Amino acid sequence: MIADASQPKAVRMSGSPVLDEQESVEVFDEALFSTLDIVLLGALLLAAGWWLLRRNKQENLPAPTKSYSIQPTAYTALVPSENSFIKKLKTSGRSLVVFYGSQTGTGEEFAGRLAKEGIRYRMKGMVADPEECDMEELVNMKSIPNSLAVFCLATYGEGDPTDNAMEFVDWLKNGDADLNGLNYAVFGLGNKTYEHYNEVAIYVDHRLEQLGATRVFELGLGDDDANIEDDFITWKDKFWPAVCDFFGIEGAGEDVSIRQYKLTEHVDALPEKVYTGEIARLHSYKNQRSPYDAKNPYLAPVKVNRELHGPTSERSCMHIEFDIEGSTMRYEAGDHLAVYPVNNSELVNKIGEVCQVDLDTVITLTNTDEESTKKHPFPCPCSYRTALTHYLDITSNPRTHVLKELAEYCSDQADKDKLKLMASTTPEGKALYQQWITQENRNIVHILEDIPSLKPPLDHLCELLPRLQCRYYSISSSPKLHPTTIHITAVVVEYKTPTGRINRGVTTTWLKEKHPSDPPCLVPIFVRKSQFRLPTRPATPVIMVGPGTGLAPFRGFIQERDIARKEGKEVGDTILYFGCRRRHEDYLYKEELEEFEKNGTLKLHTAFSREQAQKEYVTHLLENNKEEIWSVIGEKNGHIYICGDARNMARDVHNILVKVVMERGKMTEMEATAFIKKMDTQKRYSSDVWS
């Protein structure tokens, strides 16, 4: 999540004289001006002079600039002239700009790949963050011959733009700029398990055309639920020939690997000048300053870390409480907590061994493109060990462009050919990538182990690997009951791959070892605001559907409703549908929920899928309680909340609700679907789901 980038507001200065046109002037017969008149006139002239002087001073001040996301080693906002992407394109002889809207880094990565490839097609490219650009300048793109703007835009949340693209999308929606002469293409990043699939990219593609821009190539849609890498390279391989046709370019130049960053090794680096894991500001973990956000997380002590599963469970689920007392951090029930993880030291050491590098060597990687706003791929200078531990993703499946560049470092021709094949867009290459990388779940460490002739320079590997992202967890507490702690509920991820290896979740494996101690175990966190909220009136009834860890946000909701009831307020029905495998193994917060049910706060429906021959899930319970559901959503104007698996559970619940509305509300399927859609618009139907 990116820090709020609201524009400075214009402020009326107190004390500025304002002349009221309706004021009448009294006229005296005796003399044209009395002594009092002269005194008053002089005072008015002095005040007017003071006001004019003050206004001129204000007019000479520089215009308010946009706020900017902090780059790793630069902390001052750019001056307006440096904020002009048109000026950068012109001064550096470029004609291609690739904008990205990215929440997890994939959109930015795709943008970088397109800009880098442009050189093959005689189009020198530049990557740009729309949050750091005057996007109104798109009207001036036509002043650059054969220019092209590409937009790699992710859809996030409930069909929303990413934080860094929000201002740009608002400008498109609310403005009517003349974009004649702007040549453009759009690639969207989405997930088909969510209702608002690629909504942002679809809108931007259509809106740019509405405003007069020329679409150079068809909209591309990537599905992260399937294979977004395959979607991207398939689109990209048709995109470039279309660009060549449009601009009359003869064809691709030589496919050469071009390094984006140059390496500097620091022999006598002063420790106080070296990053050790900070996200942006050097020493921010030693000198903590609020406000805390994605660029400035708070180091929270772990106050509680206890197991929620029973002793017979083969899995593990943690209840963790972070101490935020004195931090000025605020949260609400339904918000998300972001946690910055740390990579496993064994995996880090393996990379160092294969690359035969001293991991404590301090380095700086500097962008060879001096016009780029991204001077370094991660905070520099730092050691290789810090980069691999805190800044780089070493556990996800590498994308095809990484394999393509690594192939050059294989001493065995067969190994080189294999990596090149997987990086290609041929049917054989795609099939091999799908099987060897995706299905067999290999990360960069596994690839280095399984291709022994591959010995890449570690600095190039650091350039190619994506940034390690923070992980988000639904907060499972209410600040009304726990104002100085934030609770999360997290299943420890651990599974065996087809190659026989054990893969472990980066964040949950790391958190599992964090327990209350003296000195305390510290975890970098920040709160991300959510739209997942209880109704403002406690009297409004609610239904919550949350199997497994989908229960997490509802624990906070129930705590709030319980407090309201104890305060004597009228509280509507609070109904929970919870499911797990077995009541003695993975029934989360069993005692708490049963106590809430006993004291009248909660009406509880539970499904234990493995306790009988015929599996029973929360969806079965919902189908058996249609009358109760209709009473809440159809008769009492209540709210329904869903948290958990987007692919199956959330979709099934939606279909059941449509069926309930059809049967109990006496509506057609179309009318029932529209009824649920209206609930969604009214914020009465809310989802917090993941795939």
Binding residue numbers for NADP(+): 315, 549, 609-610, 615-619, 652
The active-site residue, picked from 163, 205, 369, 688, is 688
Question: What residues are designated binding site for FAD?
Answer: 471-474, 489-491, 495, 505-508, 690
Q: Is 380 in the active site? A: no
Instruction: Find out whether 295 and 3 touch, Cβ atoms under 8 Å.
Output: yes
> Both ends of the chain: CA-CA distance in Å?
19
Pick from 405, 393, 410: nearest CA to 348:
393
Please state, in angstroms and rounded to a whole number, the distance separating the CA atoms of residues 330 and 480. Answer: 11
| Distances in whole angstroms, Cα of residue 607 to Cα of each of 657, 658, 686, 691 | 18, 22, 22, 21
Please state, in angstroms and rounded to a whole number, the distance separating the CA atoms of residues 392 and 445. Answer: 13
Helix (H) or strand (E) holding 640: strand 639-645
Listed in order, strand segments (DSSP E) in 449-573 are 471-474, 485-491, 494-496, 502-504, 522-528, 542-545
Listed in order, strand segments (DSSP E) in 313-426 are 317-323, 336-339, 362-367, 382-383
Please state, in angstroms and rounded to a whole number, the distance separating the CA atoms of residues 294 and 524. Answer: 10
Secondary structure of residue 500 in the 3-state scheme: coil
The active-site residue, picked from 474, 478, 530, 686, is 474
Pick from 397, 92, 408: nearest CA to 255:
408
Helix (H) or strand (E) holding 372: none
| Distances in whole angstroms, Cα of residue 41 to Cα of each of 32, 36, 45, 654 | 13, 8, 6, 74
Please state, in angstroms and rounded to a whole number, the distance separating the CA atoms of residues 549 and 167. Answer: 34
Q: Is 474 in the active site? A: yes
Can you read off the two tokens belonging to residue 115?
């800009």
Q: Is 580 in the active site? A: no
Can you read off the two tokens belonging to residue 396?
């996800």
Can you read off the two tokens belonging to residue 515?
């327990």
Question: What residues are designated binding site?
Answer: 102-107, 154-157, 189-198, 224, 315, 471-474, 489-491, 495, 505-508, 549, 609-610, 615-619, 652, 690
Please state, in angstroms and rounded to a whole number, the distance separating the CA atoms of residues 432 and 424. Answer: 10
Please state, in angstroms and rounded to a whole number, the distance separating the CA atoms of residues 134 and 369. Answer: 20
Question: What residues are designated binding site for FMN?
Answer: 102-107, 154-157, 189-198, 224
Please state, in angstroms and rounded to a whole number, the distance separating the CA atoms of residues 154 and 163. Answer: 10
The active-site residue, picked from 152, 317, 462, 643, is 643
Can you read off the two tokens belonging to residue 308?
């929620």
Secondary structure of residue 339 in the 3-state scheme: strand
Instruction: Find out whether 643 and 551 touch, Cβ atoms under 8 Å.
Output: yes
Residue 492: HSE in the Cβ half-sphere, 13 Å Cα cutoff? 23
DSSP 32-99: S--HHHHHHHHHHHHHHHHHHHHHHHHHTSPPPPPP-PPBTTB-SPPPGGGG-HHHHHHHTT--EEEE
SS3 percent helix, strand, coil of the chain, rounded to 5, is 40, 20, 45
Q: Which residue bears the tokens 């020939």?
A: 241
Residues labelled catalytic: 474, 643, 688, 690
